[in-house]
Amino acid sequence: MPPLPPSRGCAQAAPAEASTNSSTGSDGLALSDSAVERLKELQAESSGPVALRVTVEGGGCSGFQYEFAIEEGAAAQQLAPTDRLFERDGVRLVCDDISLEFLKGAVVDFESDLMRSAFVIHNNPNAASSCGCGSSFVAK
């Protein structure tokens, strides 16, 4: 599938590089320190358990896009047969098998700046390139 042209405000970025500030196996996902901290904050604000779900969907500026959802309560604890759970320092990250094929070895981070505060994917070894806004990518 050829990549879609970048939309306004979303330029192609350089190819993904190897992780320098977080380690993960090539078959999983890593959570950065800032992602763990933000998930702990959300956990403290919630009346029950919290999990971050990351998926990959078709679309976006570059062909595939990252989607993030916060699951709370019972939804945060229930896993489908195709879900994979990654935990670090008491926080939970959930990803389905199909999305994980596009994310193996990547780092889930949390960024906060003047423009936005959001979970993002860094250093995805399965991305040939990503858009400037960081929410979509071209698969290798």
DSSP tally for the chain: helices H, then strands E: 3, 9
Share of the chain above pLDDT 90, in %: 53
pLDDT digits over 70-113, tens only?
Answer: 999 989 999 999 999 999 999 999 999 999 999 999 999 999 98
In this structure, CATH architecture of domain 30-139: Sandwich (2.60)
Minimum mean pLDDT among 39-43, 118-122, 130-134: which range? 130-134
- Classify each residue of 57-72 as buried b or exposed e, where b means 16 or more C-beta atoms within 10 Å of its C-beta: eeebbbbbbbebeebb
Q: Classify residue 73 as left (phi > 0), alpha (psi -120 to 50) or beta.
A: left
**CB-based contacts of 22, cutoff 8 Å, min separation 6:** 30, 31, 32, 33, 107, 109
